[in-house]
Amino acid sequence: MPDDEIPKPEPKEIDSQKWLEWKDLMDRAILRAHPLEEFGQTYRCDNCLFYLDPDDELSYCWHPNLRILVGRDWWCQWWEQIPADG
């Protein structure tokens, strides 16, 4: 291969491993990239107790089973209401 030819990017073995790990976590959390609508209420990450910064479209979820970045409109089975006293 000539020195100036840049190899095409391809996923590596580590990417397959990481995908399997993340997929397992997504499945356990029933994590979805869209909100849950039930009983006239919308359950999404940015109105969940564990969403660190509700002003951001992407923020950190500090639920002990997750501890990952999530999107504002996402949802998972561990959603919890923010207490009225903050």
Sites of contact with ligand SF4 (CB under 6 A): 45, 48, 50-51, 61, 63, 66, 70, 74-76, 78-79
Q: Supply the minimum distance, in Å, between the C-beta of residue 37 and ligand SF4.
A: 14
Q: Which is closer to ligand SF4, CB of 7 or CB of 83?
A: 83
Q: Supply the minimum distance, in Å, between the C-beta of residue 35 and ligand SF4.
A: 9
Q: Supply the minimum distance, in Å, between the C-beta of residue 75 and ligand SF4.
A: 5
Q: Which is closer to ligand SF4, CB of 50 or CB of 56?
A: 50
Q: Which is closer to ligand SF4, CB of 16 or CB of 58?
A: 58
**Token digits of residue 83:** 């207490």
Contact between residue 76 and residue 29 where contact means Cβ atoms under 8 Å apart = yes
Place of tokens 């996402």: 74
Distance CA 45, CA 59 (A): 9
Distance CA 71, CA 57 (A): 6
Residues linked to residue 38 through DSSP beta bridges, in sequence order: 41
